[in-house]
Chain A
Amino acid sequence: MVEGVAISIKDVSKVYRLYQRPIDRLKEMLFRRRSHKEFIALNDLNIRVKKGETLGVVGENGAGKSTLLKIISKTLKPTGGEVEINGMVSSLLELGSGFHPEFTGIDNIHFYGSLLGIPSSEMKRRVQEVISFAEIGEHINYPLKTYSSGMQVRLAFSVAMAVEPDILVVDEALSVGDLYFQKKSTDKILSIKDKGNTIIFCSHSMYYINRLCDRVIWLKNGRVAMDGPASEVTQAYETYQLKKEADKRSETPQAVPLPSHETAVIAIHNLILTPCATVRSGDDLTVEMDIVSLDDSVPYRLAAVLFRIDELRILGIGTKAHELLYGNRKITLCFPSIQLKEGTFYLRIHVMDENFVHKYDTKATEPFTVPKEGMEPGFINLPYRWTV
């Protein structure tokens, strides 16, 4: 084990064998006869976590996040590869699962300590700390079954923290209990981070991941798709997710089929977006298009909708202040100094009738991304003024 490394995961894979019946598994274990299908949850994973690092893990459901966390907390054995863990792991995955309702709070604290292999003398020293942090008071001498669920969670959290883990594994639940305790538990986790302990944090909330983690890995189908600074990885991951969702939507056939180009009386051609792909906050965004009309006598108007990639409508605008348009035209739409802050967006242009009811044609631009620059969340800038 190299100095200063908390977790070293080398070529680790986890293959779940899917058996039709549990007995097939037994047969195979005893007689080594193959009778299963395989599902690869982790595929040759290589991760090294330094001591004191806070590593975020993101990924879609089924990407292998939970499997990874279970392997780190040693409840699951990897199928292949080497896992080295340097120090004691406590995880908030198992919050309270070692508890027994008939035991008193004190007994449960000791019991949990024994489960994790902490000497009882050591545990005795920490009991007071647990009790005061959990704010359970007198109840600590009563059986756990008399506790409210909030008290149970508080106790479980306090115990998991009091064992002073070198490595803390947190799955989603960053905060527990009521609002007051939520703040307290979040602060506690932050203090663990400040103390220089290692934290592995898995969450769907990119905000928390960004706030807490130095480094993030993105798991995709059991492999590391990306590994790097939190802001970069989370943004790439979010963009990927939003895009995927948008793709899924465009794949599903729409209820009212739009007229195809052959039959459309008025159609949009050559939609060009500048600058393309990456747009910075404050750039001038320009869309040029050719409108081709087969019948010069038909009037039309144009509309544009700015979408975020997850189909959130940010802005809808139309040429309602302009004269009706006729015939072939070359049209430009410009957003001077666009005040988008972060995310991936696209514009959809519609050719509509004079009342903005009927759609002749519709076309979307390529998506473009605005990279995150500051710390503040949000995706648009608005003028504002603090009065303090």
Chain B
Amino acid sequence: MTNWFNLVKYFLIKDIKSRYAGSGLGIFWTVMMPFFQIVLYWFVFSTVMRVRPHSNAHIPYVLFLLSTYFFWIAISESIVRSGMTIIENAELVKKVPFPVIILPISITLSCYLQSMVGVILFIIAYTFSGLSHLSLFLIVPVLFLQLLFSIGFGMLLAAIIPYMRDLQQIIGYMLQGMFFLSPILYSMEAIPETFRNLTYLNPVTLYVEAYHKVVFDGTLPGWWHMGAMALCSGLFLFLGVKVFMKLNEGFADIL
């Protein structure tokens, strides 16, 4: 077990090191690029289109966006990177006998770790606008469930993509759908009632709504919501491990 821990640690460091190797601004990019996008959304939605995408009048739109955006970045980054991890480490997978499942796990952890920098910046900004409260720490259990979901989803893609490389092309569109069909840019209330429940089919909606609850209402969402999240995370994790263990045996033959 300590060896697993060591390996995850090494792959984590390896990923972060190679990510920022030779870049002058380092982690700055990981934070600045999402910030740039947030400013873009902010400008387009609240200044150009003048829509009121969220109903909570006392919270500035920027803070509304920030409250979930970095959690979303964690999901999307980890999905994209997990999907490529087996192919990127083909040499290792083919030649060194080690538990390959560590690869998608550590890459997901790495993505989460990096986007947490943005989350911390959000919390600082939130505190400065005088809206902060102690219950903010309730995001931890939500984040934990979201992480399990991501690891599961990551394993699933990591296992399938080596067999079906063109899937990688579709992932971008899938993520776009997951992003726009979850209440990151707008609040749940902005969705016409007929469609509102349908958006819960998007797992991302579950987590994003939970963050909104914690950040703006200071409470965890209701028991059915928590239950659905736990179920979703558990399901993806189970499926991920199952499929990965099954497809894992053929990696050496196809890479």
Interface residues, chain A, with chain B CB atoms under 8 Å away = 16-17, 22-23, 25-26, 29, 70, 73-77, 89, 93-94, 97-98, 100-103, 107, 110-111, 114-120
CA distance A54 to B117 in the complex (A): 54
Residue of B nearest to A17 (CB): B253
Q: Is the CB of A76 within 8 A of B7?
A: no
Residues of B within 8 A of A94 (CB): 95-96
Residue of A nearest to B160 (CB): A26
Q: Is the CB of B250 within 8 A of A25?
A: yes
> Chain B nearest CB: distance from A277 CB in Å?
45
Answer whether A100 and B247 are a contact pair too, CB < 8 Å, given A75-B94, A114-B3, A114-B7: no
Residues of A within 8 A of B163 (CB): 22-23, 25-26, 29
Q: List 9 A-B contacts (CB under 8 A).
A: A23-B164, A25-B253, A75-B95, A98-B96, A110-B10, A114-B6, A115-B98, A116-B96, A120-B3
Q: Is the CB of B254 within 8 A of A102?
A: no
Interface positions, chain B 220-255, Cβ under 8 Å from A, are 246-247, 249-250, 252-254
**Given A25-B254, A75-B96: 8 more A-B contacts, CB < 8 Å:** A73-B97, A75-B95, A75-B97, A89-B97, A97-B96, A100-B18, A114-B10, A115-B98
Q: Is the CB of B160 within 8 A of A75?
A: no
CA distance A93 to B92 in the complex (A): 11
Residues of B within 8 A of A98 (CB): 92, 95-96
Answer whether A103 and B14 are a contact pair too, CB < 8 Å, given A114-B3, A117-B3: yes
Contact with A along B91-109 (1 / 0, CB 8 A): 1101111100000000000
Residues of A within 8 A of B246 (CB): 29
> Chain B nearest CB: distance from A284 CB in Å?
55
Residues of A within 8 A of B2 (CB): 119-120
Q: Which of B10, B247, B253 makes the CB contact (< 8 A) with A26?
A: B247
Answer whether A29 and B247 are a contact pair too, CB < 8 Å, given A97-B92, A119-B3: yes
Confirm or deny: B52 has a beta carbon within 8 angstroms of a beta carbon on chain A: no
Residues of B within 8 A of A16 (CB): 253
Residue of A nearest to B98 (CB): A115
Answer whether A115 and B164 are a contact pair too, CB < 8 Å, given A29-B247, A97-B91, A120-B6: no
Q: Is the CB of A77 within 8 A of B252?
A: yes
Residues of B within 8 A of A97 (CB): 91-92, 95-96
CA distance A77 to B97 in the complex (A): 11
Confirm or deny: B165 has a beta carbon within 8 angstroms of a beta carbon on chain A: yes
CA distance A101 to B91 in the complex (A): 14
Residues of A within 8 A of B7 (CB): 114-115
Answer whether A93 and B95 are a contact pair too, CB < 8 Å, given A22-B162, A22-B165, A114-B6: yes
Confirm or deny: B133 has a beta carbon within 8 angstroms of a beta carbon on chain A: no
Residues of B within 8 A of A26 (CB): 160, 163-164, 247
CA distance A98 to B89 in the complex (A): 9
CA distance A74 to B7 in the complex (A): 18
Closest 4 pairs (CB-CB, A-B) = A94-B95, A26-B163, A74-B97, A102-B17
CA distance A107 to B17 in the complex (A): 12
Residues of A within 8 A of B174 (CB): none
Q: Is the CB of B98 within 8 A of A116?
A: yes
> Chain A nearest CB: distance from B17 CB in Å?
4
> Chain A nearest CB: distance from B215 CB in Å?
36
CA distance A29 to B159 in the complex (A): 12
Confirm or deny: B21 has a beta carbon within 8 angstroms of a beta carbon on chain A: yes
CA distance A243 to B243 in the complex (A): 50
Residues of B within 8 A of A110 (CB): 6, 10
CA distance A115 to B18 in the complex (A): 19
Q: Is the CB of A115 within 8 A of B96?
A: yes
Q: Is the CB of A70 within 8 A of B252?
A: yes
Residue of B nearest to A24 (CB): B163
CA distance A107 to B12 in the complex (A): 13
Interface positions, chain B 1-29, Cβ under 8 Å from A, are 2-3, 6-7, 10, 13-14, 17-18, 21
CA distance A96 to B186 in the complex (A): 50
Residues of B within 8 A of A70 (CB): 252
> Chain A nearest CB: distance from B136 CB in Å?
35
> Chain A nearest CB: distance from B253 CB in Å?
7
Q: Is the CB of A102 within 8 A of B18?
A: yes
Interface positions, chain B 164-219, Cβ under 8 Å from A, are 164-165
Which of A17, A70, A115, A119 has the largest count of B CB atoms less than 10 A from its CB?
A115
CA distance A98 to B10 in the complex (A): 11
Residues of B within 8 A of A103 (CB): 13-14, 17
CA distance A25 to B253 in the complex (A): 10
Residue of B nearest to A91 (CB): B95
> Chain B nearest CB: distance from A57 CB in Å?
18
